[in-house]
Amino acid sequence: MSEQLANLYSTTLAAPYVAGSGSIVVTSAGSYTQGTFSLTILDGSGNVILIFRVTGVVGTTFSGAAEGADANAAMGSTVVGSMLTVASLGQIEQDWLYGDPVTSPTTATFSVALNDANANTISFANATGTEPAVALAANCSGVDTAVVARLIPVPAAPYNVRVRFRVLAVASRYPLNGFCWYDSVSGKLMLFGTMARDDVGRVRFVSFTNSHSFDGSTDQELHCWGWPGRNGLFDLYAQDDGTNRIGSLVADGTLADKEIYLSQGNTVFLTPTHIGIFVGPGNNGASPFPSKMTCIDWTVTT
């Protein structure tokens, strides 16, 4: 949830706050209808009792926890906001960088590996930088259609998956990276992601009969301006609404502004058993720069 701000908010506690209880009840919620924000609770002399970091709002009940030192507060204590605190400034930074919140994956998020025999120098590891992420990388020689994927069992429909990632790849070798549906019974894949052709960035939604064989019964490839979007991230939204399989693009970091790229029946070509992230390095040989996808968001909702 993005940081919520309100000018000159002031109310009182409608009930005593007990340290560690996880919520406060206020006399008036003012303009607050949802989290996230920070409030300061003061005693009758104006001394700070604690800072309360709100993460949820239901009426006049604010759920959350103390930011820093915790303490009891009596009924009638003054509550003021919005406060710029360490947590609120951190949230504002995240809002600016990403728009919608991210759910950072780790290698443990993905329980199944799919490695095509034509791919080599495959690596899958937690990113070591300041931005929590997982990085999947591979080289390939001999064919330009090999796929390496990391997967989870497909959720029951309806489900939605938000994937945000960065790519490092040799553009002249037709790399393809993004989100995939996979059928472990037939070996078929449906790939949705970013690629390069003739050194030009594109978006592709394409069917493969296995992890190295192009099918093409579904194949939509377009050059999209204004993407990647916010913070240089490729931002995909993949859905199965119980009837259709839908791939959308998000250019500004705000899911409400997504644009549908392709929609088809959810049993077209395959009935997936797994979903996940994939790297298709193209025919980049022994390049010192393997096709690398650094995934900073893997958010699954059902």
Percent of the chain with pLDDT strictly greater than 90: 75
Mean predicted confidence (pLDDT) in 106-119:
96
* pLDDT at residue 142 is higher than 80: no
Was domain 9-98 assigned CATH 1.20.120? no
Residue-level pLDDT at 288 = 60
Residue-level pLDDT at 108 = 98
More confident residue, 285 or 254: 254
* pLDDT at residue 302 is higher than 90: yes
Residue-level pLDDT at 131 = 86
Mean predicted confidence (pLDDT) in 257-275:
97
Residue-level pLDDT at 287 = 58
pTM (2 d.p.): 0.82
The pLDDT confidence band at residue 129, using thresholds 50, 70 and 90, is confident
Contacts of 294 (CB under 8 A, 6+ apart): 127, 133, 134, 135, 165, 166, 167, 168
Sheet holding 23-25, edge to edge: 9-12, 78-81, 37-42, 48-58, 61-66, 23-25
Residue-level pLDDT at 284 = 66
The pLDDT confidence band at residue 199, using thresholds 50, 70 and 90, is confident
Mean predicted confidence (pLDDT) in 52-60:
96
Write the single-letter amino acid at 4: Q
Extents of the domains making up the chain:
9-98, 107-301
- Chain centre distance of CA 152: 15
Residue-level pLDDT at 121 = 83
The pLDDT confidence band at residue 233, using thresholds 50, 70 and 90, is very high
**CATH no., domain 107-301:** 2.60.120.200
More confident residue, 238 or 83: 238
How many angstroms separate the CA atoms of 245 and 166, rounded?
Answer: 24
How many angstroms separate the CA atoms of 37 and 30, rounded?
Answer: 13
Mean predicted confidence (pLDDT) in 107-131:
92
The pLDDT tens digits of the residues spanning 74-107 come to 999 999 998 999 999 988 988 888 889 899 999 9
More confident residue, 193 or 1: 193
Mean pLDDT (the chain) is 93
> Beta-strand (E) ranges in the chain?
9-12, 23-25, 37-42, 48-58, 61-66, 78-81, 112-115, 119-126, 134-140, 148-153, 159-168, 176-182, 189-197, 200-210, 213-222, 234-240, 244-249, 259-265, 274-280, 291-301
Least confident of 21-25, 223-227, 238-242: 223-227
